[in-house]
Structure formats: C-alpha cells, structure tokens
Chains A and B, each alone.
Chain A
C-alpha cells in the first residue's frame, strides 16, 4: 500500500511497507529516535519517536504508514516528553561527554542538543557498571549503554551470531554477552561485525580508534541531527520550494504549524518546568 499521510501539516508520501518514521525521514521530516535504524526490525523501546496518530499515541518506528493518517510529532507536550525521556537516559547511565571519544559522533548527545536539554532534571543513579575491555579489538563501556537493542539485532540479524542480549528488568536491566565467561573475549564477535559498529552511543567501541576525526569534522559538528538523519537532497528541495502542505481540515488535533520538517521547535523550547521528584 502506498499513499500520503499528514505529519504536522506536511503531506508525506509513503511506499509499501514503510513505517511512519521512515516515511517521514525519506520526506525530510525528522522525528527523534535512538533505537531505530534503517534496515533493522522495528523495536520501539526508546519511545523518543512517540507521536499522535489520528489522536492516539504510537511509536512512529513501529507504526505502519497508512493513507490519510494525521500525525502530530512536533507538539509542546510530545517535545516535553522527549526531553524528559532523554534526561532519564542520561541519569540512568554515566555519560561524561567532555572526555568521551564518541562526543560529536554520538546520537544520544545529538538528540540531547536537539531536545534543548540543559540539565539532567532527575537525580543521578550513579550506576556502578563494570567495563569489559577483555576483547583485543572491541571495548564495552556499560556506563554508556541505553539498551536500544541495536547491537542485539545487529548480531542476530546481520552477523548471524547472537553475541548480545538484554537481561533483567527496570533498573536491573543490563547488556549481557553470550559467552561461557560472560566476557566479550570469549564470544564469537569480530571487529568486522556490524554489531561492533552499530552502537548509537559510546558503549561499544572499536579500540584504538578514538579522536581520529578532528573537531569540526565529526558527524554532528556542522549539522544538527535533524538534518543528518534525513536525506539531504530532500531537505534542500524542501527549503527551496517549500514543503507540500496537507489539507488543514483533516487535522483533528490543533497542530503546531511548521515552517519546515524540523522547525527547531525543540531548540527554542524552554527547559521543561521543574517537578519535585522524591529519591
């Protein structure tokens, strides 16, 4: 099935089998995400891409696009929730951007900038997580794992190995290694596996490759993630001729009218109001 759906007032065409997030991305409309990746089975765990589809809350990475859908992504309450979700990810692990080798290339950091995250809001967990440096070529810094499941899917679907798994629930959730010792060195992973390169943060790293890209040439140095994630040609065309708008009468919820695919609404959004949280 193909057709057109309406995201924040922009008419977005889709092709057979596309999810809302992929249809949007292809059309140059950015919906934030961390656990999604093109060519991988939808997973829907990070909830950043939560949108309203015909008035109901759904994750855009798992919801198939359908003709005539009305999708709201860029609304104050959804952006507020995305900022809070991002903050929760930061306090749950230990993310020290200043010395992290992934800085500038990190999707989590880039999403935080996009969400205008100025503080952690929530109290830190100060999680105690051990590093696994046992493999000669690959390092796992569990401090930076956000449980996006991409390495699990990469190893299983792309590498045919099942090296990784997620165990436990809630705050006891952890990334586990399929090996007799539980250490990466005893697993089947190889440095050429897709699972060694898929991590959106700095949790799984190829050793001895840090800081090779100078400041200014890292992925998010020149462009915000909203541009990097979408197809550049589409964004340029959209900026030149304007994005096709859909019939406003179809919109059920009062939408935030956009000037483009990502009006940088989040960047101008004030930090979410402070709510007292008990420890």
Chain B
C-alpha cells in the first residue's frame, strides 16, 4: 500500500531537493539497523527505508565443519533466542542421521519442547517488559529519559519486577535442560544428551504456578493498553498482509514442529499442512541493494504480492485454536476484538505475544508433570542422509535451517531463513505507513521519530540475531537542508547524555 515510498523519484534526488533524516541505530531491538527518511521542502516524506547494516555470514563459515557441531555453533547467531537456532539445527541434523521427528524418542521430543517453551517464554518476556513496555506505559512520544526499563522499574515496580522474574524463569528452564542459560548443549543428532533429574524437575515445579499467574497479569496489561487506546492501537503501523506459520495437524498453535500454513489477508487458507522440507518450492528470497537483509516471498504469489508476516500475530491469526485453556480463552477474546477473520494491527503483535507467553507458561506446567522428562531413552538412530531441513517457530516467527553434507560428514551448503528476515517487507511497509500517516508534513522531533521505532519494535526484530545492549546505543539525528547543509543535530552518547544543536 505504501510501496511508492520505498524509492523516491530519482529526479528529485539528483536535483538535491531532498533532505535526509536518519534514525541510526534503531534502539531497543536486537541487533543494529537504521531508518532513513528523505523529505522534500515541505517535510513531505518521499522515501522511507529500514536498513539492516550488519552482515551475518554464518552460512559461509559453517561450511567445512562437521555436521554435529551445527546446533552448538549456529546458536551463537543470537544471545536472545539461541535455543531456537539450536533446535532448528538439531531437527535438521536428526534427518542427517536418518531420524524423522515422528521417530524421536518421546522423552527427547518432550525435553526439546520444554526447552523451547522456556525459550519463547523468556524471549517474549524480555521483549514485552524490557524493550517495549516503556513505549506502551509512558506513550510513544514520551520524554526520552523515560523510555527504558529502569524508568518502568521506578514507576511501575511490580510490573517491571514481574517481567524480570518471568524472563528469569524461562532462562532457568533452559539451564535445567541444557546446562547453561545461554548457549548450552542439549540436542544431539537423534535426541538429547540428558534427561531432567527429579531435583531439577521439582525446582522448576515450585514456581510455575506463580509464573502462570504473572503471565495472566501481563496479558491483562497488554489487553488493557490496547483496548483503551482505540482506534489508535488498531491503526498505527497497520498493514494488511499474508501470514505464515507452523500449525499442529489438528490446526492448533504450534511452536516446535508442524506443517506450514499460509493465510491471505482475508483469512483464506492458501497453503495448509505443507511439509517444510519442500520450503524451497514455497518461498524464494529477493536481494535489494540498500540492505543486507533479504526479502522472502511466496513463490506462487510473486515478488510484489507474495510477502508475508511471521511471528506471534501470524501464529495466533493462523491457528484454529490453542491447546491450553487460558491462552485459548485469550485468543477467542482477541479474535472477537478484531471482528474479522484476520487481525492486521501491527501493535497486536504485543497482544498475541502475551497470549503466547501464557500458552508457554501453561504448557510448561503441564509438561513438568510428564514422567517422560525423567526417562533415559533419549537417542534414536537411523541411516545416514545427505540433506537435512529443520523448521521451528522461534519467538519471532518461522525459522528455517537447511544443510547439505558430504560423504565425510562435512557441511557443504547451508541456508538459514531467520524469522526477522521474513518480516523484512512488512517492517519496511509499517515504517512507510508511519512515515506517510503520522510524520509526513510535520516538523520532525526526536519523540516523533520514536514512532518509527515503535512500529519496528512491534515485530520484535532480531536484526543481526545478536545480543542487545540496553541503554548503551549511541544515537545521532541529523537534519540536513536542501543544499546539504546541516541544520540541526541531536546526539545521544552512550552515557545517555544529550547534546543538541548544529555544529
């Protein structure tokens, strides 16, 4: 809808008629990116882009390594959702040793699911409380000094502390299953390397009731924030899109393993229970010169119309139901609020993220009573294969890992489609929507520019699949006039100090 803002009229650019405004870097997201706007003399936005300025390179440097290293090495892509990379790679290398998901021992399957519920729980809590709650609680254009988790802890200590503790619980689940909170080892080809001990299980059980209750509180909070700011929350950065996610065979919400489902903006199912091993037929990726992040699209719909969204909004939109009662009730309420087959509100990502947070907490509670977690039947074996594909629903959406190996067990080819990549077009479209609807024609100020970041943040992007330093990101805004002269400049140093004024 706002594609016309991807590239400004080259004649205007040539003539030097446009001024450039950059939000660099985008803060409170994982990884580094920047937004640039080109404005004409009347401050009308002519171009708006989200650029990803990092280069990942993992596909190249895992070539030549033995395949069993993949889950441990590739998880280093990210400090926030390493478990999702660990498990996507593990599912791929299961296939390399001839083990399909149905043949994984029940104990290994359940331990991996528990591990992943812990991962999604901690990541969602991190994003909602640490990164997004300042915007949601204080307002998008609030004073910049307020827009951080420290201010949330000061003004809303209960909410802030619950966020920290929810995340900690998810991290503890991860630590119990794979030895470390970040970058442990757990999944091995065909299974897992350890069961839960009774002590470990009991340790996790003692707090899970409280965690479910706090997750309900978080869901109530986001529901209240969303529904008390209507129609703004329904409209802000909102775009109509296709949605892609995994679902269970019965159509339920699924995070670990299932078939691909795609729905169009009207809610019609385009693809269902699609075997993810055939993903190269379903999806292609386009490269554009101005960003390091590719643009995936559904092959059948083509480059222009085939883009789609992934993540919590896609999963909750796509599934027929959620198989835990509290989260399912929340899903029904959410869909009723939307009123249509699909909810397109970008800020509804936050709402659906908290529905999933509750689903994870409930699922962990159920799993912890499963005696299979203590079983030592952990590894299955099979016949060697030369290609493996693992797909999982990471916190930020569908994650694809694809590897080929040679007769010596060495990786010869790798392809990763990381969740955030799938949302690339959507994030750019949301940025353009905000630029066109909320910024165009106005005198730009720092609080106003935060609207762009709010739109991006809703997607919880992991721009590099890398760790994020809270409060340490230097930020520089430059206002340049039509003659290329610097008119105004605002610099936030890593200390948090602001320097205003042109040089």
The residues of A with any CB-CB pair to B shorter than 8 Å are 98-99, 101, 131, 133-134, 139, 207-208, 210-217
Q: Does any Cβ of A come within 8 Å of B170's Cβ?
A: no
* A104–B33 alpha-carbon span in the complex (Å): 36
Could you list 30 examples of A-B contacts with CB < 8 Å? A98-B72, A98-B183, A99-B69, A99-B72, A99-B73, A101-B68, A101-B69, A101-B72, A131-B410, A133-B66, A133-B408, A133-B410, A134-B408, A139-B66, A139-B409, A208-B97, A208-B189, A210-B66, A210-B72, A210-B188, A211-B68, A211-B185, A212-B188, A212-B193, A213-B193, A214-B178, A215-B178, A215-B184, A215-B185, A216-B179
Nearest 9 interchain pairs by C-beta: A215-B179, A99-B73, A214-B194, A133-B408, A210-B68, A211-B185, A214-B193, A99-B72, A133-B410
| B112 interface hit (Cβ, 8 Å) | no
* Of the residues B76, B183, B409, contact of A133 by C-beta under 8 Å: B409
Given A99-B72, A139-B66, are A211 and B409 also a contact pair (CB < 8 Å)? no
Q: Is the CB of A131 within 8 A of B185?
A: no
**Cβ of B395 under 8 Å from chain A:** no
Complex contacts, B76 vs chain A, CB 8 Å: 98-99
Is there contact, CB below 8 Å, between B185 and A214? yes
- Which among B68, B73, B178, B189 has the highest number of chain A CB atoms within 10 Å? B68
Give the residue name and chain of the B residue nearest to A139 (CB): B66
Q: How many residues of B contact A (CB 8 A)?
A: 22
Q: How far is the CB of B363 from chain A (nearest CB, A)?
A: 23
State the main secondary structure of chain A at its contact with B. loop
Min distance, Cβ B63 to any Cβ of chain A, angstroms: 11
The answer to whether the Cβ of B337 comes within 8 Å of any Cβ in the partner chain is no
Interface contact A214-B186, CB-CB below 8 Å: yes
Cβ of B64 within 8 Å of any chain A Cβ, yes or no, is yes
What A residues does B186 contact at CB under 8 A?
214
CA of A133 to CA of B65, assembled, Å = 9
A254 shortest CB reach to chain B, Å = 43
Task: For B72, give its contact among A133, A211, A216 (CB under 8 Å).
Answer: A211
Shortest CB-to-CB span from B118 to chain A, Å, is 15
Judging by beta carbons under 8 Å apart, are A208 and B178 in contact? Answer: no
Contact of A207 among B66, B188, B193 (CB under 8 A): B66
Bound-state CA distance A133–B66 (Å) is 8
Q: Mark B165-186, 1 if CB is under 8 A from A, else 0.
A: 0000000000000111001111
B409 close to A131 (CB less than 8 A): no
Complex alpha-carbon distance, A214 and B191, angstroms: 13
Cβ contacts under 8 Å, A216 to chain B: 179
Bound-state CA distance A139–B188 (Å) is 18
Query: Which chain B positions have C-beta within 8 A of A139?
Result: 66, 409
With A99-B72, A99-B73, A133-B408 in contact, do A211 and B193 touch (Cβ < 8 Å)? yes
Residues of A within 8 A of B68 (CB): 101, 208, 210-211
Q: How distant is the Cα of A99 from the Cα of B76 in the complex, in angstroms?
A: 8
Chain B contact residues: helix, strand, loop or mixed: loop
Residues of B within 8 A of A207 (CB): 66, 409
Chain A residues whose C-beta falls within 8 Å of the C-beta of B408 in the assembled complex: 133-134
Contact between B64 and A131 (Cβ–Cβ < 8 Å)? yes
For A213, the chain B residues whose CB sits under 8 A away are 193
User: Closest residue to B195 on the A side, CB-wise?
Assistant: A214
The smallest beta-carbon distance between B408 and chain A, in angstroms, is 4
A208–B188 alpha-carbon span in the complex (Å):
9
Q: How far is the CB of A130 from chain B (nearest CB, A)?
A: 9
Fill in one digit per residue for B379-395: 1 if any A CB lies within 8 Å of its CB, else 0. 00000000000000000
Q: Which residue of A lies closest to B379 (CB)?
A: A212
> What would 14 more interface pairs be, CB under 8 Å, given A99-B73, A101-B69, A213-B193?
A99-B69, A99-B72, A101-B68, A207-B66, A210-B68, A210-B69, A210-B188, A211-B72, A211-B185, A211-B188, A211-B193, A212-B188, A215-B180, A217-B194
What's the least CB distance linking A17 to chain B, in Å? 42
The residues of B that contact A99 with a CB separation of less than 8 Å are 69, 72-73, 76
Within 8 A of A (CB), among B405-428: 408-410
Give the chain B neighbours of A208 by CB distance below 8 A: 68, 97, 189, 409
B107 to chain A: closest CB distance in Å? Answer: 14
**How far is it, in angstroms, between the C-alpha of A6 and the C-alpha of B49 when the chains are bound?**
73
Residues on B with C-beta less than 8 A from A212 are 188, 193
Residue of A nearest to B194 (CB): A214
Q: List residues 31-55 of chain B with CB under 8 A from any CB of chain A.
A: none
B residues in contact with A98, CB < 8 Å: 72-73, 76, 183
Closest to B406 in A: A133
Residue of B nearest to A209 (CB): B68
**Smallest CB–CB gap between A224 and chain B, Å?**
18
> Whole-angstrom distance between the alpha carbons of A144 and B448 in the complex?
53
> Which residues of chain A have C-beta atoms less than 8 A from B188's C-beta?
210-212
Bound together, the chains give a CA A99 to CA B73 distance in angstroms of: 5
Contacting residues, chain A, for B72 (C-beta < 8 A): 98-99, 101, 210-211
Distance A139 CA – B66 CA, assembled complex (angstroms): 9
Q: Could you say which residues of chain A place their CB within 8 Å of the CB of B66? A: 133, 139, 207, 210
Q: Which of B64, B66, B188, B189 has the most CB of A within 10 A?
A: B66
Which B residues between 182 and 239 are near A, CB-CB below 8 angstroms?
183-186, 188-189, 193-194
A49 to B183, CA, bound (A): 33
Shortest C-beta distance, B133 to chain A (Å), equals: 32
Q: Which of B69, B178, B186 has the most CB of A within 10 A?
A: B69
Measured CA separation A101–B410 after assembly (Å): 15
Q: Contacts of A211 on B, CB cut-off 8 Å?
A: 68, 72, 185, 188, 193
Minimum Cβ distance to chain A for residue B466 (Å): 14
Instruction: Report the minimum CB–CB distance from A196 to chain B (whole Å).
Output: 15
Contacts of A214 in B (CB 8 A): 178-179, 185-186, 193-194
Chain A: which residue is nearest B184 at the CB level?
A: A215
Within 8 A of A (CB), among B442-489: none
Bound form: Cα–Cα A208–B410 in Å: 12
